[in-house]
Every structure is written in structure tokens, then in C-alpha cells.
Amino acid sequence: MMYNRIMLMAMQPYFNLSKSQCRPQSMGYLVGNGYAPSKIATSHLERVLGNGMIPKKLSKHFNKDLPKVKVVKVLTQEDKDKKIMRGFRTTLSSINKSLDYGQDYLEEFAGELGVDTTGWGWSSQIIDKVKIDLNLDSLTDGEKGFLRWLIEDRACDDMEVFNEYATELSLEKKGARMTELWGFLNR
């Protein structure tokens, strides 16, 4: 502490320090803190290099005592809705990718519900209709039943090939997500 006091007294005329500022405690020095950077070192570098010109490698040492402030972005309700809808569209895209497995079984089940299965990509077209507006208004009753089955039952079935390596916990989370998606589509 005595060495720090001597250094501050030597800097007094250069920095126009008052007597109270020549006390090491008032400039950030503590017992056991050694010759840690202080307010004096920062202001000296600003005088020598100019304001705001302190290199990052040095400035990180001078600002270590300042509390880190995490900036939290506040979302408007519209931004929250867009984020939720973007997430549901991504979920629908992942369901669409899973349609490559077991196409014959899908056609058989959809045929029982009265869904038109003619043409290439008929199942993807159903999901694409829903992805645009995220509602079920453009679907027939049979297509709604088929989509409900895709979302709530098939997507979380542990016997499906695309869920072969999924853990029980991940299937539970996926089930909760699919239930949330189906509820959102039926709003």
C-alpha cells in the first residue's frame, strides 16, 4: 500500500489529483491486489493514446471490476407470435421429411380416411397447405384426420424408423411439442 501511495503522490501533479485521491483505497488499490490496474492507468492511457483508443488487450484489464451487464432483447407480442409460428413451421418441415419412410403404409391409412392419394407428393402437399397459414381451414375432414395422425401419433411413435435412435426423454419432449402444434393449428 505504501508503494501505491508513493506512486499516486508522484502522479499528483501530472493528473491534478487531490489529496484524497492520493489515497490508494480511493483509486481501487486493495491489500493483496498488488499492482492491479487502476483509474490512474486508464486515464493515463487515454491521455497518451487519445480517448477511446485503448487496445482491447489492455482495456479488458482495466474494466474487469465493472459488472457485466447482459442485454436482454424485449420482444413485442408480434415478434413473439412470429417466433412461435417460425418454430411450428420448422416442426412441420421435420414432419414432412419423415414422410419418406413407409409411403405404402401412409397411402393405406390415408385412403381409409378418404384422402386423395393420387399424384406424387400428395402427403407433402397436405403439410404445405398448412404451413402457409398455420391453420386447418384449407383441409378436408379426411386430410385433417390424416394430419392429426401424422402430428400426434406417427411423429412420436418409437417404432417408426426416424425415431429408431431417439431416447425416451426426447420422444416425450417431441410428443409435448406435437401436442402444442396440434393445439395451435386448431385455435
Say yes or no: 52 and 90 in one domain. no
Please state, in angstroms and rounded to a whole number, the distance separating the CA atoms of residues 130 and 139.
8
Say yes or no: 82 and 57 in one domain. no
For the chain, how many structural domains are there in total?
2
Say yes or no: 91 and 159 in one domain. yes
Domain holding 30, by residue range, is: 2-62
Task: Give residue 38's pLDDT.
Answer: 55
Of 34, 62, 90, which residue constitutes the final position of a domain?
62
Q: Is position 81 within any domain?
A: yes
C-alpha cell at 17: 489529483
Q: Is position 70 within any domain?
A: no
Average pLDDT, the chain: 78
Say yes or no: 81 and 57 in one domain. no
Higher pLDDT, residue 82 or 48: 82
What sign for the dihedral angle of Cα 42, 46, 48, 54?
Answer: positive
The answer to whether 94 touches 101, Cβ cutoff 8 Å, is no
Question: Residue written as cell 402427403?
Answer: 123
Residue 66: Cβ within 10 Å count: 7
Task: Give residue 60's pLDDT.
Answer: 65
